[in-house]
Amino acid sequence: MRSRRDFLQKITVSAIGLPLIQRYDTTGIQNFIHPSTQNKVLRVAIMGLGSYGTRVADAMQSSEKAKLVGVVSGTPSKIKDWQSKYNIPEKNCYNYENFDRMKDNPDIDAVYVITPNALHHDQVIRVAKAGKHAICEKPMAINAKEGQEMVEACKQANVKLLVGYRMHFEPKTLEIIRMRKEGAFGKVLFFQGLSGFRIGDPNQWRLNKELAGGGAMMDIGIYSINGARYMVGEEPIWVTAQETKTDPVKFKEGVDETIMFQMGFPSGAVASCLSTYTMNNLDRFFLNGSEGFAELQPSTGYGPIEGRTHKGKLTQPHKTHQTVQMDEMAAIILEGKQPVVPVDGAEGVKDLKIIDAIFQAVKAGKKVEVQV
């Protein structure tokens, strides 16, 4: 899954030698000579150096439009390790107390926030105030209210806010969306999303309500919510939901273990989904229409994604999701590229509104209307 490439060693050039180096076709040197070309590469700092942060960092070594140049961590030893592994200069290293100083660092364009869910709100707002574009891992916040505040803060600071929806750039997923738009499935009638795995360590932050904002729904269930929206091609207008809990010790109050939920769409299409932390082998999307079907299994894993439709197997090639995501996000930020499926803060808020409604439906035991 990981794709590594060693960074080129930094080149130090004296003022005396500057006229001579223009003959060399080296990207780093060209950027030094021609500052106007620097924005062709998005210079990114990663905040949160855990397992997924590492996955993104490794994938970025193959990126053509995004480069890892900085880090933010509360663990000094991790910072030292990343400096050595990814050739990150000391001046681009920060902790959670001082990363606001990025405001005075012109060598960082964007910060990818990969920390526990409940921290996203404040951290993204601080990133925006520092004048940097924000990429935030999903869910972008623990509720829609916080998500909207993040959107407004980034808008006020005139910076982009993108959310880590890597599946929005996945080729087989995009092929199904293309086919649906062209009417290949006829009238869309039904979507099924199964998202789950058996979670391990009971002491991890994902099982801490204060840090995660919930349980399986915030971590894995959001894939079925988001997948239903881009595969059906509509926004839900109602939800119903039922929660089951077999281990109240591991899954404490406010930390959902398993939620089954249903969504209704304006066209009459319906979705039936499962979000769980207690069952493996659940990573499947199925779309049914009057003229055909589409299936992805696995549908959201790190890959390769496998899919088929009534017309046969999907054969689009696999490329590391995070590499593609960072290239595409760099194009959005630097070139104004419009993705097929949005990855902006407004998209993240829509998912959060649906999650809020699902939690409300669980408590109320009845259908809850949604307006995203």
The torsion defined by the Cα of 20, 25, 27 and 30, in degrees rounded to 10, comes to: 40
Between the CA of residue 29 and those of 36, 186, 334, what are the distances in Å? 13, 54, 20
Angle at 143 between CA 193 and CA 152, to 5 degrees: 115
Question: How many other C-beta atoms can be found within 10 angstroms of the C-beta atom of residue 319?
Answer: 17
Catalytic entry in 67, 132, 138, 353: 138
Torsion angle of C-alpha atoms 132, 137, 143, 144, degrees rounded to 10: 60
**Alpha-carbon distances, residue 371 vs 150, 237, 266, 274, 341 (angstroms):** 19, 6, 11, 21, 19
Q: Identify whether 367 is a catalytic site residue.
A: no
C-alpha dihedral over 248, 249, 255, 259, to 10 degrees?
-40
Q: Which of 86, 94, 223, 230 is catalytic?
A: 223
Distance (Å) of CA 121 to CA 45, 114, 128, 209: 17, 12, 11, 15
Q: How far apart are CA 50 and CA 151, in angstroms?
A: 25
Active site residue 230: no
Of the candidates 320, 346, 371, the one whose C-alpha atom is nearest the C-alpha of residue 3 is 320
Cα gap 80→75, rounded to integer Å: 9
Q: Which two tokens stand for residue 371?
A: 């307006």
How many CB atoms within 10 Å of residue 334? Answer: 18
Specify burial of residue 262 (Cβ count, 10 A radius: 0-12, 13-18, 19+). Answer: middle
Q: Taking CA 18 as the corner, what is the angle to CA 13 and CA 19, rounded to the nearest 5 degrees? A: 160
Structure-block tokens of residue 215: 């349980």
Catalytic residues: 138, 223
